């Protein structure tokens, strides 16, 4: 995938909706490990990274992405990115800053380093 038309690139709103849903799910799951989420530090972030590794690596979508009708695929061939690259993408996404630095195709640093791209589902 060398050039992406702007029509094929999901909006930032859809990406945000997907991330918001995924974050709420991570908080819910973290509640099983931390009795008071107000004191949680790294647990929700760890769950987010694991969620991305599992769902993106195996299915190409997180639950939030499915709801927002977007998916994450390999830039090399449009296939799933696999668990290691999905874990890397999740870790970089958890750092927040890479996601805010985007190119004209709306690929953040986390997407470029994981060699992935967000497409409509």
> Is residue 33 included in any domain, yes or no?
yes
Instruction: For residues 81 and 79, give the distance between their C-alpha atoms in angstroms, rounded to a whole number.
Output: 6
pLDDT digits (tens, 9 = 90+) for 77-111: 889 999 999 999 999 999 887 778 888 888 989 99
> Is residue 1 included in any domain, yes or no?
no
Q: pTM for this structure?
A: 0.86
Structural domain for 112, as ranges? 6-120
The answer to whether residue 75 scores a pLDDT higher than 60 is yes
pLDDT confidence band for 2 (50 / 70 / 90):
very low
- Total length of the chain: 121
pLDDT digits (tens, 9 = 90+) for 12-48: 899 999 999 999 999 999 988 888 878 878 888 999 9
CA 104 centroid distance within chain: 18
> Is residue 56 included in any domain, yes or no?
yes
| DSSP per-residue string spanning 72-116 | EEETTTSS---HHHHHHHHHHHHTSHHHH-B-TT--BHHHHHTTE
Instruction: For residues 96 and 33, give the distance between their C-alpha atoms in angstroms, rounded to a whole number.
Output: 23
């Amino acid at each position: 995938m060398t050039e992406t038309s702007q029509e094929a690139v999901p909006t930032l709103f859809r990406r945000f909706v997907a991330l918001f849903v995924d974050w709420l799910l991570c908080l819910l799951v973290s509640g099983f490990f931390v009795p008071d989420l107000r004191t949680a530090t790294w647990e929700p972030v760890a769950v987010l990274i694991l969620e991305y590794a599992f769902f993106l690596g195996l299915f190409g979508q997180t639950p939030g992405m499915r709801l927002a009708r977007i998916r994450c695929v390999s830039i090399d061939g449009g296939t799933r990115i696999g668990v290691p690259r999905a874990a890397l993408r999740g870790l970089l996404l958890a750092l927040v800053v890479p996601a805010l630095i985007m190119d004209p195709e709306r690929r953040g640093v986390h997407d470029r380093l994981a060699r992935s791209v967000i497409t409509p589902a």
